C-alpha cells in the first residue's frame, strides 16, 4: 500500500456517524479515461443522518467534440459545454468542496480513473482520501436485485427518478443508495465497511503500473520524455499505431492507466492534444 493510502486509511476509522461523506459522479465523452475526457463532475456532501446536505456540480469543456452517440446517453451537447470551465479549474473546486470526507461512487474504478488521469495530466498529486464503491457494497449485502446497476438499485429501493446519467442526479442516487445499504447491512463502523472490500484509498482503486519490469527500450523512452517535459522541449516521435507515423509533439505528462503507460502530448501535426502508448513508441528524439 502506498504512503498516501496508509495516511488516508489511518485517519478513517471508528463510527460512521462521526464522518462526512461525498457521493460523486462523472459524465464523459466515452468509456476510456485515456482517450476520452470529462464533461461533468458533481457531488453531494452529507452525513449518515443526511443533515447539512450540500452539492457541487459543474459542466466541463472537454476541449474536443462529444460523440453524438454519447450525447444521446447523458444529454450533454457541445453547445452546453462550449463556455464551461476546463477540467483543471473544476477539479480544483471539487477537491476543495470534497475535502475531509469519505468519497462514494457507484462503480468507483470508472469514476476514480477519470479523475486520476486528469490529475496526472495536470501533474497534480492524487487526493489522499478513501473511496467506497457502492456497487461492490451492494453485491456483498444484497441478493434480491435483478442486477446491480444504479438505476436498478434505485428502483429496487423505491427512490428511482426520471433522470439518469447526469452527474448530480446520479450523485443523489448514490447518496440514497448508501443509506439503504447501511440499513440492510446494519453496518455502523468503518471497520465493517473495510471487511467488504468496498472501501479503498483513491490510489488503490487503480494501482499504477510497475516500471521495474519494463523493457529497457521503454524505460529509455520514459526517461527521455520526462526530460523533455522538464525542459519544455519538443520531441520527434516515430510511433506504431494502426500505421507507422512520424510526428513532432510537445510532451505534457507520462500517465499510468490500468497497467499501461501513456504519453499525453500536444501534437504539432494535428494541432491537438493526443495520447500515445509508450510501448508503441519506436523512436524518440529531443529537438534541440
Residue 165 designated active-site: yes
| Structural domain boundaries, residue 94 | 3-206
Q: What is the pLDDT of residues 60-94, one digit of tens each?
A: 999 999 999 999 999 999 999 999 999 999 999 99
Which of 74, 96, 165, 186 is labelled catalytic?
165
CATH number for the domain harbouring residue 279: 2.30.30.100
Residue 152 near residue 106, CB atoms below 8 Å: no
211 located within any domain: no
Q: Are residues 157 and 258 in the same domain?
A: no
261 located within any domain: yes
The number of distinct structural domains making up the chain is 2
pLDDT at 42: 98
Q: Are residues 113 and 13 in the same domain?
A: yes
Which residue, 176, 206, 236, sits at the end of a domain? Answer: 206
Mean pLDDT of all residues in 85-112: 96
* Grid cell in block for residue 157: 429501493
Q: Are residues 151 and 222 in the same domain?
A: no
Phi then psi for residue 271, to 5 deg, are: 55, 45
Q: Are residues 246 and 187 in the same domain?
A: no
Q: Are residues 171 and 224 in the same domain?
A: no
Count CA atoms within 13 Å of residue 35 on its CB side: 6
CATH number for the domain harbouring residue 151: 3.30.420.10
Mean pLDDT of all residues in 172-191: 96
Q: Are residues 7 and 117 in the same domain?
A: yes
Which residue, 156, 174, 206, sits at the end of a domain? Answer: 206
pLDDT at 286: 95
Q: What is the pLDDT of residues 245-263, one digit of tens each?
A: 999 999 999 988 767 788 9
Phi then psi for residue 198, to 5 deg, are: -90, -10
Q: Are residues 125 and 185 in the same domain?
A: yes
Q: Are residues 197 and 236 in the same domain?
A: no
pLDDT mean across residues, the chain: 90
Q: Are residues 90 and 173 in the same domain?
A: yes
Q: What is the pTM of this model?
A: 0.81
Which of 1, 5, 219, 203 shows the shortest CA–CA distance to 117?
203
Q: What is the pLDDT of residues 195-248, one digit of tens each?
A: 999 999 998 886 655 677 777 888 899 999 999 999 999 999 999 887 889 999
Whether 7 has a pLDDT exceeding 50, the answer reads: no
93 located within any domain: yes
Which residue, 206, 228, 249, sits at the end of a domain? Answer: 206
Q: Are residues 147 and 80 in the same domain?
A: yes
Which of 229, 230, 220, 196 shows the shortest CA–CA distance to 284?
220
Q: Are residues 257 and 131 in the same domain?
A: no
Q: Are residues 55 and 151 in the same domain?
A: yes
98 located within any domain: yes
Amino acid at each position: 500500500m502506498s504512503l498516501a493510502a496508509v495516511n488516508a486509511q489511518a485517519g478513517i476509522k471508528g463510527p460512521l456517524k462521526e464522518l462526512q461523506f461525498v457521493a460523486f459522479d462523472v459524465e464523459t465523452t466515452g468509456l476510456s479515461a485515456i482517450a476520452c475526457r470529462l464533461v461533468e463532475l458533481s457531488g453531494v456532501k452529507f452525513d449518515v443522518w443526511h443533515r447539512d446536505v450540500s452539492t457541487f456540480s459543474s459542466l466541463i469543456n472537454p476541449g474536443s467534440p462529444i460523440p453524438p452517440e454519447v450525447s444521446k446517453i447523458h444529454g450533454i451537447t457541445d453547445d452546453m459545454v462550449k463556455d464551461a470551465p476546463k477540467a483543471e479549474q473544476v477539479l480544483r473546486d471539487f477537491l476543495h468542496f470534497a475535502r475531509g470526507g469519505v468519497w462514494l461512487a457507484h462503480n468507483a474504478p470508472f469514476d476514480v480513473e477519470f479523475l486520476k488521469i486528469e490529475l496526472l495530466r495536470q501533474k497534480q498529486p492524487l487526493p489522499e482520501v478513501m473511496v467506497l464503491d457502492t456497487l461492490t457494497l451492494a453485491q456483498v449485502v444484497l441478493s434480491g436485485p435483478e442486477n446491480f446497476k444504479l438505476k436498478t438499485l434505485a428502483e429496487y429501493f423505491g427512490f428511482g427518478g426520471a433522470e439518469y446519467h447526469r452527474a448530480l442526479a446520479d450523485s443523489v442516487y448514490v447518496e440514497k443508495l448508501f443509506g439503504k445499504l447501511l440499513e440492510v447491512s446494519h453496518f455502523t463502523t468503518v471497520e465493517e465497511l473495510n471487511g467488504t472490500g468496498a472501501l479503498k484509498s483513491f490510489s488503490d482503486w487503480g494501482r499504477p503500473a510497475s516500471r521495474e519490469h519494463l523493457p529497457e527500450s521503454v524505460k529509455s523512452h520514459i526517461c527521455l520524455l520526462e526530460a523533455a517535459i522538464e525542459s519544455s522541449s519538443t520531441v520527434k516521435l516515430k510511433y506504431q499505431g494502426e500505421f507507422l507515423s512520424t510526428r513532432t509533439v510537445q510532451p505534457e505528462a507520462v500517465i499510468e492507466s490500468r497497467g499501461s503507460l501513456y504519453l499525453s502530448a500536444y501534437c504539432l501535426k494535428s494541432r491537438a492534444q493526443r495520447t500515445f502508448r509508450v510501448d508503441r513508441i519506436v523512436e524518440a528524439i529531443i529537438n534541440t
